[in-house]
Amino acid sequence: MKRHSWMRKQQWAGYAFILPNMVGILLFFIIPALFSFGLMFTNYQFANPNVSFTGLDNLKRMFQDDQFYRAIKHTGIFLLSVPVSLVLAFLVALVLNRSVYLKGLLRGMFFLPYISSGVAVAFVWMLLFQPSHGPINEALRWIGIASPPGWFADSDTAMYAIDIVQVWFMLGYNMIIYLAALQEVSAEQMEAATIDGAGKGTITWKIVWPLVSPTTFLLLVTGLIMTMKSFAIIQAITQGGPSGSTTILSLYVYKTAFSYYEMGYASTVSWFLFAVILVITIVQWIGQKRWVHY
C-alpha cells in the first residue's frame, strides 16, 4: 500500500508532533509521580533538612491512623452523591428527551451549576444552609419543623449537606451525557415495546434503563473517581470540619502535606487514594467486557 509506506517514512513527524507535549507531561506528571512514589518511603517534612529513608514506616503508621480511617468513612459518605445524582440525572434526561417544551432552556437550567465556580457556589450554599437564619432552615421552620438540622455546623449532618451540594453540582453533567445516550436509543425500539403493550414504567425500566447501562456504568466509574479527587467545595465550606467530620481522603492528604508539612506521610496516603482509583479502573476494564454490549 502506497500511503502506508509513505507514512512510515514520516515516522519522525510523529515524534515531532508529540515531543512538545511529552516534555510537559514528563515534567509535570510523570516525574512528580515517580518522585512522590519515592517520598512515600521517607520521613520528609518541609523545612526539615534531615530526611531519611524509613522504609514501610509510613504505611504502618497509615494503617494505625484513626484519622485515616475516619477519612475513608467520610469519603464513602461523599461518594453516595454519585449514584444519587446519576438516578436523578437519568430521570431528568428521560423527561427532557421526550415530553417537554423549552428543552433548551430547561437543559441550561439543570446544567448551570456544573460550569459555575465551585468556590463561589460553595459560599452561596454556606449561607443558604446557615442554621439560625438561612433560607433553607427558615423554610423548614415555616412548614413546621421546629428544630431543623445544623447542616454544615453540625458534625453529624455536615457530610450529608456536602452531598446535597455535590449532587446539585454534578446533576447537570450527568444529565447531558444521559441525553446524548438516549438519543441513540432508537425510536423503533420504543415503538415496538409500546405495540407489545408495555406501559411507560415498564418501557423505562425494562428497555431504556438497560439500553443506557453502558453510560450509567461509565458515569458511575468516572463519577466515583472525579468525586474522590475533588475537595474544593469541602475546603471552601468547612475546611474539613466541624471537628474533622468532612475531612475526606483527598483533603486529608492536602492538610497533612500543607498544614502539618508531613510530606512523606501525605505521599503515602495519596498513593492509597491512587490504589483505590486503580481498583475502580480495573473493575471498569473487566466490567466493560462483560456488561457493555454495543
Looking only at residues 219 through 238 of this chain, which bind other proteins when binding is defined by CB under 8 A? 219, 222, 225, 228-232, 235-236
Q: State yes or no: residue 120 binds other proteins (CB under 8 A).
A: yes
DSSP bridge pairs for 53: 42
Contact 233, 121 (CB under 8 A): yes
Q: Which is nearer to other proteins, 107 or 159 (CB)?
A: 107
CA distance 260 to 44: 12
Q: State yes or no: residue 260 binds other proteins (CB under 8 A).
A: no
Q: State yes or no: residue 124 binds other proteins (CB under 8 A).
A: yes
Residue 207 CB-half CA count within 13 A = 22
Q: Which is nearer to other proteins, 148 or 172 (CB)?
A: 172
CA distance 129 to 123: 10
Total residues binding other proteins (CB under 8 A):
100
Among 148, 149, 150, 172, interactor with other proteins by CB under 8 A: 172
Q: State yes or no: residue 17 binds other proteins (CB under 8 A).
A: yes
Cα–Cα nearest to 43, from 35, 32, 51: 51
Q: State yes or no: residue 90 binds other proteins (CB under 8 A).
A: no
Residues 131-160: x/- map of binding to other proteins (CB under 8 A)? --xxx--x----------------------
C-alpha cell recorded at residue 120: 463561589
Among 61, 79, 80, 130, interactor with other proteins by CB under 8 A: 130
Please name the residue that has the C-alpha cell 454519585.
82
Cα–Cα nearest to 248, from 264, 263, 222, 226: 226
Q: State yes or no: residue 283 binds other proteins (CB under 8 A).
A: no
Q: How far separated are the first and last CA of the chain, in Å rounded?
A: 31
Q: Which is nearer to other proteins, 160 or 217 (CB)?
A: 217
Residue 28 Cβ, how far from other proteins at the closest point, in Å?
Answer: 4
Binders of other proteins in range 22-51 (CB under 8 A): 22, 24-25, 28-33, 35-36, 39, 46
Residue 45 Cβ, how far from other proteins at the closest point, in Å?
Answer: 11
CA distance 73 to 245: 10
Q: Which is nearer to other proteins, 102 or 192 (CB)?
A: 102
Q: Which is nearer to other proteins, 24 or 197 (CB)?
A: 24
For the CA atoms of 210, 203, 110, 176, what is the dihedral angle to 10 degrees?
40
CA distance 23 to 10: 21
116 φ/ψ sector (left φ>0, alpha ψ -120 to 50, else beta)? beta
Candidates 53-61, 69-77, 173-181, 199-207: pick the segment binding other proteins (CB under 8 A).
173-181
Q: State yes or no: residue 277 binds other proteins (CB under 8 A).
A: yes
